[in-house]
Chain A
Amino acid sequence: MEKLYALFTQQSQAKEINLYYHLDSNLPEKVLLDETRLLQVLSNLTSNAIKFTDGGGSINISLRTIVKSGKKIIVKVVVSDSGIGISQENIKKLFNSFSQVEDSSTKSFGGTGLGLSISKELCKLMSGDIGVYSALGLGSSFWFTFEAEETHEEVIDDEELLQKDIRISNYFNEHEPLILLVDDNMVNRQVAGEILKKSGCRVDVAVNGQDAINKAQKKPYDVIFMDIQMPDMDGVTATKKIKALGIKDLAPIVAMTAYSMKEDKERFIKSGLDDYISKPIKAKELLNKIRTLLHIKKDDTPLEIMTVESNDMVINHDIVNQLKKYGGEEMVISVFTDFENETTEQIDSCFVSLEDGNYENILINLHTLKGNAGTLGIDKVSQLTVEIESRLKLQKKIYVGLAEELVELKLRFEEFKKYYPTFLNN
């Protein structure tokens, strides 16, 4: 909740909206859940609420447990606003636009309700549902539910593992598996790629089905991980085409899929895939899968902690030193402040355009942001912006996954904002 609050207080303050949140006392202290997905849904509903609420209004976010059976709980989240509300007719339309996007592996949506469509998908992945109560003039209450598991253990999730840069040393002994990772979503590629590289794999990536077909012919891969839901050519089609090439000793192709139904898994195997793992990718599952497929014996080497500063990439020290050379500390502070102000506007503008389906405006904003972040050496923001911009240029539309990437961009920018004052003080 704190993360969400940090993301939106500024935006709501700018419109003089009061943002409140309430955590019910029946919520357990610690739960196992997919934080990224939860934050994505929450941030989507919250940003909608801010958009449709006038200055002086308020937004309430509440979380409570509605079902508890053993360790499993179902949590209901309600985001209520004092905004303009939605007519019954439009509520129906809102939900109709959801149904259009189902039942298809290759997806492309227009702009309207895109954030909500994605939110619905994400809720499904968390075994939950989403809906709205609203009447014109009386505000709206969007609600959603998700499943979580109560825990009493100290939990370190995959992301934390990565952030702390823990190396899973010698995971594969002398053998360095050669992996082809196929996914159109840059964030997914980055997460899986990091895990694989840290564990000692050599990793190539392909960004779409055709790219995968080309690359599969070039090197003797040990395992190919294939995303199923990709635009243009889905993973099942790409797999069939690769198999039809008759490559000698072709690597097993493992579907990476957010579908969690048993029938779906069977369907993938029937369609020619060799195995599957479920998304979101978990480090342990991913590495175990490789080990099983390659018959590598289990290694009990303990995790070795590397003491690499994870903040290293937030700001490029060389560039800051260059800046200091020309204008001293004072100039660095001043240009970073300019950057903070302009980037806030650019990212807000991207989220508005995401809802309006205006990909051109997102491109313009990202293009400027790319130049700014690159010039000032704000590396993590810059790298992600470069990737999103180039993909958007290629796709020429608001593609599936863009919303998630922009959320990630916003998080990286927030990280920069938190980090740079202390960085400059040292």
Chain B
Amino acid sequence: MDSKKVLIAEDSSVIQNLTKKILQIQNYEIFSAKNGVQVLSMLENESFDIILMDINMPQMDGMECARQIRKLSDPVKSSIPIVAITGNAMNYSKEEFQAAGINEYLQKPLNFDNLVETVKTLTS
């Protein structure tokens, strides 16, 4: 079976590399973006099985990027599961996350078991 494709959008290279390594070992294929604009341009030529997205990114934050993804004309791409990664879950309510099109959120500090479990559930 081919490995599932995960796009990690995260400004901090610490979290970027960490999640990348953990998920690579779990046999996922990893792609990286530094901000929301990059995510959208990558989606023009490529599709993913799941997108992990930091909320606090420069240029285009995770909330706006999720809204844009949900508006894409390609029905496969517009329905990719999106997991928000957030340092301040308090900043947004569950309803606000849902309204932006975010399926699930993980709070920083990241729990590695949760991370792996969430990705597994949403890609199977």
Partner of B87, one of A322, A325, A370, A377: A370
Q: Are A334 and B116 in contact (CB-based, < 8 A)?
A: no
Given contacts A372-B12, A372-B15, contact A367 B112 (CB under 8 A): no
- Answer whether residue A331 sits at the interface, using C-beta atoms and an 8 A cutoff: yes
Q: Are A327 and B12 in contact (CB-based, < 8 A)?
A: no
Instruction: List which A333-376 residues lie within 8 A (CB) of chain B.
Output: 334-335, 338-339, 341-342, 364, 367-368, 370-372, 374-376
**Alpha-carbon distance between A359 and B22 when the two chains are bound, in angstroms:** 34
Q: Are B112 and A368 in contact (CB-based, < 8 A)?
A: no
Chain B residue numbers with a CB within 8 Å of A203 are none
| Total residues of chain B contacting the partner, CB 8 A | 19
**Alpha-carbon distance between A335 and B24 when the two chains are bound, in angstroms:** 14
Partner of B11, one of A339, A368, A375, A376: A368
**Alpha-carbon distance between A326 and B25 when the two chains are bound, in angstroms:** 7
- Supplied contacts A367-B87, A371-B109, 20 more A-B pairs, CB within 8 Å: A322-B112, A322-B113, A326-B116, A327-B21, A327-B25, A331-B25, A334-B21, A338-B13, A341-B13, A367-B88, A368-B56, A371-B87, A371-B108, A371-B110, A372-B14, A372-B15, A374-B108, A375-B108, A375-B109, A376-B18
**Alpha-carbon distance between A376 and B17 when the two chains are bound, in angstroms:** 12
Chain B 73-103: CB-based contact to A (< 8 A → 1; otherwise 0):
0000000000000011000000000000000
Q: Are B15 and A375 in contact (CB-based, < 8 A)?
A: yes
Instruction: List which A369-396 residues lie within 8 A (CB) of chain B.
Output: 370-372, 374-377, 382
- Answer whether residue A258 sits at the interface, using C-beta atoms and an 8 A cutoff: no
Q: Give me the interface of B with A, judged by CB distance under 8 Å.
A: 11-15, 17-18, 21-22, 25, 56, 87-88, 108-110, 112-113, 116
Chain A residue numbers with a CB within 8 Å of B18 are 331, 335, 338, 375-376
Chain A residue numbers with a CB within 8 Å of B21 are 326-327, 331, 334-335
Quick one: which of B17, B109, B112 has the most chain A CB within 10 A? B109
- Answer whether residue A323 sits at the interface, using C-beta atoms and an 8 A cutoff: yes
Q: Are A376 and B112 in contact (CB-based, < 8 A)?
A: no
Quick one: which of A372, A375, A376 has the most chain B CB within 10 A? A375
B86 to chain A, nearest CB (A): 9
Q: Are A342 and B14 in contact (CB-based, < 8 A)?
A: yes
